[in-house]
Amino acid sequence: SQYSAVDTNPLSVYIMQPIWNKIIKVVPLWIAPNLLTFSGFVMILVNYFLISFYDWDYTASGTSPGLVPTWVWLFSAFTTFCAYALDSIDGKHARRTQSSTPLGELFDHGLDSWATSIFVLSFFSVCSRDNGKTGVSVYTMYIYLSIVLFNFMCSHWEKYNTGVLFLPWGYDISQVVLIAAYLLTGTVGVEVWQKPFLFDYYITDVLVILLIG
């Protein structure tokens, strides 16, 4: 069956898609689309295991600021952007090389289902686990992850029933916010997450509103 997707997010339509259309032109035609898909997933895994090495219990940012080197956060921003870009151009490249297949779609979305969890779990190291003052409790982490995964499942269930994947606006927004969060942490430090952003609200509170939205 013909793959069909609808993306109405202004961020994607007017900003990101033109960027992907320029990037895809430099990808050699001999590269397999599935290689782009897998490479993006590997970038996510590398980022996850690197952060896990420095912060295996999600407390480094809360109890030991500076334990995670600055370069790790900047590298996280880089790998996240690369994964985001590769996931966005693999389908374009498949159509460009006339090599689109149902198996390729399954491979892409199958890895996306894993990446959805890994993105969220990696981000928890930025705001840290609850230390009594700031951070996010393990229970709250689980709720956040459940919301993201439920959204992913609903989108694909809708695609299964309608034949059209209506891409959630949250995808592009979340990727840009995630990259910005890593860059902010790398340039300013994890302390930015532990100080009130506005009145008695923290940046994590703002992200919760975005997440629920």
- Which positions are annotated as active-site residues? 109
What is the signed CA dihedral for 11, 39, 210, 146, rounded to 10 degrees? 140
Place of tokens 């952003």: 197
Here the tokens at position 105 are: 């779609």
What is the three-class DSSP state of 3? coil
Using a CB cutoff of 8 Å and minimum separation of 24, what contacts does 197-205 make?
Answer: 202/134, 203/127, 204/127, 204/134, 204/135, 204/136
